[in-house]
């Protein structure tokens, strides 16, 4: 991101106006489009708002931007060359398009995080940078021999990685599969996207957990799917609920996250797993098992995955490195019957021509080395410690206002607030105090819930963050 040069003799406002003029001239802001608001630009480049006000005033004086009441600062349609502002109406295009934009709450949180002012981040369901296997990656980049070819990869993904995943999944999760049943994806998000695009049609009914991550995904909406909720209790969903949903709506697919469910942290009760699979098989409904967290299990007990006991072949299994190693690999896997893998691989060729072989090669080196087990051991300890710290702080600061069940794995603590507060207001109060979190409504829950990720902030940030969160909450009570 460009920043003005504070050592230069040229005044800041003038540096900014020249930079903005260049950005207009080079087409970043074509005629008729709007510049960032003064406040936003000031945040982004780290200056006072008044400096940007002065810079924009200079651009207005030159006649290359206009202020339009209410909508901000528009690039003039007249001032750019002989064509007198002929150019596409980009707003029209940007607001058209099939694919749905992200939820406003999520865009707001992302924007705050993007500016990278010091914000304590309880919102991102991601590991903190110190938990990534940075040292392992550096070591492997320097030492592992890169022998992969740099051409287009196999549409199903890098074969050595698929071959390594077969014993990896069998030894760690008791999942037996074959290299040709595996599609390497750029993470669970892409696995789910391919499933919704290639196996379902607009108008299809699908069942998702309530609350669940799936609610936060415009991809379901973009695919035109009708979503029906399966309520999640402390022990997960009730399998019988599927039967009545099926009778009423002809459900075509189930999306479940049985282990350390996002956002509730719940574990589907072992006794319900066989029953769930039997019901899915009897109704002939495929079941997408989203399983990003199993290997984070803090105390080592791994709940059985549905895939490992799926005798009917109903389960599409979705896993990834994002939550157990680093999201920056962009490496996930989908296990599915050959016909499904083939169809999805073919479609992905059309969307992005597959993944780069480089992170696949690196991921393969990583999961095949002893570095992986070292990493996962440290990760589990650290996540457990972070959750303990968060729970202690919550009890201290908000013991009377917040209720939660400790998670045994995953990255999040799901909290019920005793008093109902407005999600948007609570978020804005928190942002003012340098903290972000995910409101429960993002996951489709009733108001009065929040998801606090303990994985993302540093252990020593959690106390201050929870104190600020508590202040924000109390300011609204």
In whole angstroms, the minimum distance from the beta carbon of 473 to a second copy comes to 27
Candidate residues 6, 7, 26, 400; the one interacting with a second copy per rule CB under 8 A = 26
> Which CB, 15 or 266, lies closer to a second copy?
15
Q: Which stretch binds a second copy (CB under 8 A): 51-59, 126-134, 235-243, 379-387?
A: 126-134
300 Rama sector, left if φ>0, alpha if ψ -120 to 50, beta otherwise: left
Q: Which stretch binds a second copy (CB under 8 A): 54-62, 174-182, 380-388, 421-429?
A: 174-182
Q: What letters, b where the CB count within 10 A reaches 16 and e where it falls short, cover 305-331?
A: bbbbebeeebbbbbbbbbbbbbbebbb
> Which CB, 354 or 473, lies closer to a second copy?
354
Candidate residues 14, 18, 23, 249; the one interacting with a second copy per rule CB under 8 A = 23
Distance CA 161, CA 182 (A): 10
Distance CA 11, CA 312 (A): 71
> Which CB, 29 or 215, lies closer to a second copy?
29
Name the DSSP letter for residue 461: G
Of residues 340-399, those binding a second copy (CB under 8 A): 340, 342-343, 346-347, 349-359, 362
In whole angstroms, the minimum distance from the beta carbon of 290 to a second copy comes to 14
Q: How many residues bind a second copy (CB under 8 A)?
A: 123
Q: Which stretch binds a second copy (CB under 8 A): 10-18, 24-32, 383-391, 440-448?
A: 24-32
Q: What does residue 289 show for φ and ψ, rounded to 5 degrees? A: -95, 105
Under the criterion CB under 8 A, does residue 89 sit at the interface with a second copy? yes
Under the criterion CB under 8 A, does residue 199 sit at the interface with a second copy? yes
Q: Which stretch binds a second copy (CB under 8 A): 218-226, 382-390, 446-454, 468-476?
A: 218-226
Candidate residues 33, 76, 238, 369; the one interacting with a second copy per rule CB under 8 A = 33
In whole angstroms, the minimum distance from the beta carbon of 46 to a second copy comes to 15
Beta bridge partners of 183: 334
Candidate residues 218, 231, 270, 406; the one interacting with a second copy per rule CB under 8 A = 218
C-alpha closest to that of 28 among 80, 72, 71: 80
In whole angstroms, the minimum distance from the beta carbon of 421 to a second copy comes to 28
In whole angstroms, the minimum distance from the beta carbon of 38 to a second copy comes to 16
Of residues 129-158, those binding a second copy (CB under 8 A): 129, 132-134, 137-138, 141-142, 146, 148-155
In whole angstroms, the minimum distance from the beta carbon of 403 to a second copy comes to 30
> Which CB, 267 or 325, lies closer to a second copy?
325
Of residues 424-463, those binding a second copy (CB under 8 A): none
Q: Which stretch binds a second copy (CB under 8 A): 9-17, 53-61, 233-241, 276-284?
A: 276-284
The per-residue DSSP string of 307-322 comes to: GGG-TTS-EEEEEEST
- List, in order, residues 6 or more apart from 287 with CB less than 8 Å away: 253, 254, 256, 276, 277, 280, 306, 314, 315, 316
C-alpha closest to that of 411 among 325, 311, 316: 325
CB 33 within 8 Å of CB 77 = no
Distance CA 272, CA 106 (A): 33
Q: Is the dihedral of CA 335, 159, 138, 110 positive or negative?
A: negative
Q: Coil, strand, or helix at residue 196?
A: helix
Q: Coil, strand, or helix at residue 334?
A: strand
């Amino acid at each position: 991101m460009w920043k003005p040069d504070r050592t230069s003799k040229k005044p800041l406002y003038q540096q900014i106006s020249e930079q903005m003029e260049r950005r207009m001239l080079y087409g970043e802001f074509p005629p008729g489009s709007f510049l960032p608001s003064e406040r936003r630009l000031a945040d982004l480049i780290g200056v006072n708002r008044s400096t940007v006000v002065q810079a924009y005033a200079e651009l207005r004086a030159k006649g290359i931007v206009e202020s339009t009441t209410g909508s901000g600062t528009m690039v003039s349609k007249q001032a750019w060359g002989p064509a007198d502002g002929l150019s596409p109406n980009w707003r029209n295009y940007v607001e058209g398009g099939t694919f749905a934009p992200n939820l406003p709450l999520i865009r707001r949180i992302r924007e705050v995080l993007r500016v990278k002012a010091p914000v304590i981040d309880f919102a991102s369901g991601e590991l903190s940078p110190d938990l990534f296997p940075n040292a392992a990656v550096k070591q492997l980049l320097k030492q592992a021999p890169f022998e992969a070819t740099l051409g287009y990869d196999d549409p199903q993904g890098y074969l050595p990685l698929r071959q390594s995943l077969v014993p990896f999944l069998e030894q760690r999760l008791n999942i037996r599969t074959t290299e040709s049943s595996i599609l390497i994806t750029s993470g669970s998000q892409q696995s789910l996207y391919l499933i919704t695009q290639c196996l379902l049609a607009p108008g299809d009914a699908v069942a998702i957990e309530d609350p669940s991550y799936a609610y936060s995904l415009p991809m379901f909406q973009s695919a035109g799917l009708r979503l029906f909720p399966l309520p999640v209790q402390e022990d997960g969903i009730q399998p019988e609920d599927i039967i009545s949903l099926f009778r009423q709506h002809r459900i075509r697919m189930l999306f479940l996250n049985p282990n350390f469910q996002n956002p509730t942290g719940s574990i589907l009760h072992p006794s319900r797993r066989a029953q769930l699979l039997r019901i899915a098989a009897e109704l002939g409904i495929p079941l997408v098992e989203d399983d990003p967290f199993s290997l984070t299990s803090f105390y080592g007990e791994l709940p059985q995955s549905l895939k490992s006991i799926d005798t009917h072949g109903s389960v599409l299994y979705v896993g990834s490195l994002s939550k157990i190693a680093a999201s920056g690999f962009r490496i996930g896997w989908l296990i599915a019957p050959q016909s499904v893998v083939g169809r999805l691989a073919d479609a992905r060729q059309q969307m992005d021509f597959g993944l780069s072989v480089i992170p696949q090669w690196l991921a393969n080196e990583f999961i095949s080395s002893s570095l992986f087990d070292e990493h996962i051991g440290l990760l589990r300890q650290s996540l457990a410690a972070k959750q303990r710290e968060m729970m202690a702080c919550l009890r201290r600061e908000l013991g009377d206002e917040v209720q939660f069940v400790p998670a045994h794995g995953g990255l999040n603590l799901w909290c019920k607030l005793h008093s109902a507060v407005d999600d948007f207001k609570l978020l804005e109060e928190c942002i003012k105090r340098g903290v972000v979190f995910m409101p429960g409504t993002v996951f489709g829950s009733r108001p009065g819930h929040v998801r606090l990720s303990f994985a993302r902030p540093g252990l020593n940030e959690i106390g201050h963050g929870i104190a600020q969160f508590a202040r924000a909450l109390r300011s609204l009570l």
